Structure 1
Amino acid sequence: MDRDIEQLNVALNNVKVLRSNVRSVFESLSSGLRADHGDEGKENKFILELQDLLTLVNNNLRDVENAVSTLTTPPGPFTLGNSTHLSQETTLERQQLYGQLVNSYKWTDKIREYSAIAATILASNSFNKTYKTFGTKRRKTQTSNHNVPPEVIENLITGIDRLLPDVTIICNRPFVPNPVIQASLGRVFKAMIAFKGLIIEWVVVKAHSESTDLWTESRYRVFRKVTENCHAAMLHFHSPQMPELAVRSFMHWLHSYVTLFNAPCKRCGNHLRGNLPPTWRDLRMLEPYHEECK
Structure 2
Amino acid sequence: MFKAVLIEKDEAGYRAGVTEVDEAALPEGDVTVRVDYSTLNYKDGLAITGKGPVVRKFPMVPGIDLAGTVEASSHADIAVGDAVVLNGWGVGEGHWGGLAQRARLKGDWLVPLPAAFTPRQAMAIGTAGYTAMLCVMALERHGVTPASGEVLVTGANGGVGSVAVALLAKLGYTVVASTGRPQEAGYLKALGAAEIIDRALLSAPGKPLAKERWAGAVDTVGSHTLANVCASMKYRGAVAACGLAQGMDFPSSVAPFILRGVTLAGVDSVMAPRGERLEAWRRLAQDLDVAKLELMTQEIGLGEVVATAAALLEGKVRGRVVVDVKR
| Same fold, judged at TM 0.5 (above) | no
Higher relative contact order (CA 8 A, sep 6+): 2
Higher radius of gyration, 1 or 2? 1
Q: Which has the higher strand share?
A: 2
Q: Which has the higher helix share?
A: 1
